[in-house]
A and B are shown apart, each in its own frame.
Chain A
Amino acid sequence: MTALLQVDGATLQYRTKENLVTASYRVSFSVHKSDRFVILGPSGCGKSTILKAVGGYVHPVEGTIKFNGAPISAPGPDRVFVFQEFDQLLPWKTVRQNIVFALTASGKLTKQEADTRAMHFIEKVRLTEFANNYPHTLSGGMKQRVAIARAMAMEPEILLMDEPFAALDAMTRAKMQEELLQLWDDAKFTLLFVTHSIPEALRVGSRILLLSAHPGQVKAEINSQGTDTARVEQLLFGEAGGGAHA
């Protein structure tokens, strides 16, 4: 089976006002269809930058990132992002309009079809009674559910999630992880998920890429089945036990 996403020796850099920062160094991995692929690493390992490169927002200075065999050049609706920030919904549109707009603006569906599909996914994330609410009237967890519904409604080839639950409280977070897995059971979509939480990686992921920090380099690529927190910590932080990076 060929990979949907093939990252080969990708080095990613970004500029701040004073410095040129290497976020990740010669990272290689491949994501297959229906994978729940998690990129796990401490702050500063360039995991978000890798996700942005797959999204088409930044480009590798070395190596290649190929999607369906072709290099990624620009953002597009075949790779849909779910961000960590709550402000990713358009505040001037209701929950329903947010999803409809995503579908029509990307030219995927006509208005009528988009509306039907929007309601279907709003129901899936159990927000039917809030369909006509504006985002500012929703809680953080509800906003993230809308963002997930919006991304899933677009039926992208790969769903890119950048710590989507990081800003949520622990109880909501656990529930959202559960819901995401249920949605995956229904649709078996391909997921590329970034997190710095080891328990979250183990819960959400089927395969986990472990990165070191400053700059990010691949330490291991493991299956989450049969892996526990201790093994991940061991792989990430070596003999030291990992207290320093937690």
Chain B
Amino acid sequence: MPDQRPEVFRTASATFPVVERPLGTWERLYGNGTARKAILLLVLAAAWEIFARWRNAPLLFPTLTETLAALQHSVAVGELTQAASYTITLLLKGYAAGLLFAAVLTALASATRVGADLLETLTAMFNPLPSIALLPLALIWFGLGNGSVIFVLIHAVLWTVALNTHAGFRAVSPTLRMVGQNYGLSRVGYITRILVPAAFPSILTGLKTGWAFAWRTLIAAELVFGASSGSGGLGMYISQKKNALQIPDVYAGLLTIIIFGLLVENLIFKTIESRTVRRWGMQV
């Protein structure tokens, strides 16, 4: 038998230690992702400079200042800008073509069961195959030119984008599917207005991975075959500078690729992310 205890009543307190207080400068800076990353980059740059000066072997590992000077010079004479714009144009063409094929294949896969089997089988076969390994064959088929490079770029982008999109479609909850059907949408409307946004986190992952694969493949292709095909891209720029033993310029070429990677990730993909999946609460 529990004790009989008196009932308790209280009135709420009107004074609190802290209800709301603005954060300090340091707390704000730490809470800002861009600031955190910028500081991190500065630390890495400093580490590079210090290590290179201590190592003191300009032919093996030039300092950041030397590299930046080479970068500035190459940009000033227009050599590097030309190479970079050539590479980027080719990259965008290949990426766009890869996305187009991926869209067709995924649409087919979401429409029929045979299409899904086809996509899964093809992906299992070709996704592990390094694109660069197809380049010799592509050169035979399409000759020494952009055609063969775009072919390997499509191969680099297609499978990973299709695989991620397909996986995203399959992960859409049965409830959302039924809601979509309830509105009486057409087949195309159902895919574009329900499945694509619902699967967007996966699609975005596919787009990012595809972009990275495309870069790697293109630079590798240019390094190996760019000189022979006579086209001037970043890969060829790096390879020529190496042959001329202008090592700071080699580093400047690599640094350009890194800068583009950072810009695309932080400006384009981050913006898409914060305007879509983050805003929708699909990703924290």
Contacts and interface: CB of A to CB of B under 8 A. Distances in A.
A57 B173 contact: no
A88 B194 CA distance: 12
B182 A55 contact: yes
Contacts, number: 64
Interface string A44-80: 0000000000010100000000000000001111011
Interface string B247-282: 000000000000000000000000000001001111
A92 B184 contact: no
A83 B281 CA distance: 20
A134 B198 CA distance: 14
Interface of A: 55, 57, 74-77, 79-81, 83, 85, 87-88, 90-92, 101-102, 105-107, 134-137
Contacts of B184: 75-77, 105-107
Interface string B161-186: 00000000000010110110111110
Given A90-B197, A137-B281, A57 B175 contact: no
Interface in B54-87: none
Contacts of B136: none
A231 B276 CA distance: 53
Contact of B280 (A105, A106, A136): A136
Given A57-B181, A80-B182, A106-B184, A88 B176 contact: yes
Given A105-B185, A134-B281, A75 B193 contact: no
Interface residues of B, number: 21
Nearest to A107: B184
B101 interface: no
A135 B281 contact: yes
Nearest to B181: A75
Contacts of A85: 173, 175
A102 B189 CA distance: 13
B48 interface: no
A102 B183 contact: yes
11 contacts: A75-B181, A80-B182, A85-B175, A87-B176, A90-B176, A90-B179, A90-B197, A92-B198, A92-B282, A105-B183, A105-B193
A65 to B, nearest CB: 17
**For chain B, what secondary structure do more than half of its interface residues adopt (helix, strand, loop), or is it mixed?**
helix
Contact of A92 (B173, B185, B276): B276
A91 B183 contact: no
Q: Return the 4 tightest CB-CB contacts between A and B, nearest first.
A: A136-B281, A75-B181, A105-B183, A92-B197
Contacts of A75: 178, 181-182, 184
B200 interface: yes
A137 B185 CA distance: 27
B219 to A, nearest CB: 35
Given A92-B276, A105-B193, 10 more contacts: A57-B181, A75-B181, A77-B184, A80-B182, A81-B179, A90-B176, A92-B197, A92-B198, A105-B183, A107-B184
A91 B175 contact: no
Given A77-B184, A87-B173, A105-B189, A92 B280 contact: yes
A72 B180 CA distance: 18
A194 to B, nearest CB: 14
Contacts of B280: 91-92, 134, 136
A192 to B, nearest CB: 14
A96 to B, nearest CB: 15
A42 to B, nearest CB: 23
Given A87-B176, A105-B193, A77 B281 contact: no
A105 B182 CA distance: 10
Contacts of A135: 281
B175 A134 contact: no
Nearest to B189: A105
Name the residue among A79, A91, A135 with the largest chain B CB count within 10 angstroms. Answer: A91
A88 B197 contact: no
B182 A77 contact: yes
A77 B183 contact: yes
A135 B282 CA distance: 11
A76 B193 CA distance: 17
A67 to B, nearest CB: 14
Nearest to B279: A134
B200 A92 contact: yes
B169 to A, nearest CB: 15
Contacts of B194: 90
A92 B282 CA distance: 9
Contacts of A74: 181
Contacts of B189: 105
A88 B179 contact: yes
Contacts of B173: 85, 87
